Amino acid sequence: MDHDRTEVSVALSGATRDSRRRLLAHLAALPVTLGLSFFMGPESADAKKGKKGKKRGGKKNKKNKNTGGGSSSGSEERAFLGLINDYRRKSGAGNLSLQDQLGAAADHHSQDMASKNYFSHTLSNGDSPEKNIERFGYTNWSFVGENIAAGQETAKAVMDAWKSSPEHDKNMRDKNFTEIGTGRAYNKSSKYGWYWTTTFGSR
């Protein structure tokens, strides 16, 4: 079992057009737990880029619609949606709706980790979770976040792992999030076998 509870704070790029506070929480769980948290707001993002007030594209991508897909076609992915929404209701948070672009980003990240045998929020092409989410069309967001896990086959197992980690648990119960995508992938030749990604967002 790998155990790594190092917390990291990283400023990432950009600010929303109306300068609303933004969050990118990247969280990870290995077969027990691993916690990495990244917080992003407009000020820290501008400091990293060395420029002020970068605006995000004027018009919203027409593909940014909640079509109910969320790339969560497998039975375990669908089961996870039920589990997390039940958990959020008990915590006083609203239900999350499946969203296609978030789901495609989550699915791609899980498939990438499984096929290329790595475990990280940074994808094999160097994309950050934020960049990966935007690459699949989820732009003009107010808040985005991500949980990843490796080694758990079922929805219940990954849910239990994330609930046992305060940072992952906080992400799942965050009232700022209204939409979710879930991706699960398997590669028997990889280190952990199963890989999960959940991407969260709101606009």
pLDDT tens-place string over residues 5-64? 222 222 222 323 333 344 444 455 544 434 353 434 223 334 344 433 333 333 333 333
pLDDT tens-place string over residues 88-124? 999 999 999 999 999 999 999 999 999 999 999 999 9
**145 in Cβ contact with 27 (< 8 Å):** yes
pTM of the model: 0.73
Q: In whole angstroms, give the CA distance from residue 123 to residue 111.
A: 10
Looking only at the bridges linking them, the beta strands covering 97-98 and 143-150 are: unpaired
What's the whole-number mean pLDDT along residues 167-185? 95
Q: Which residue has the tokens 């648990």?
A: 169
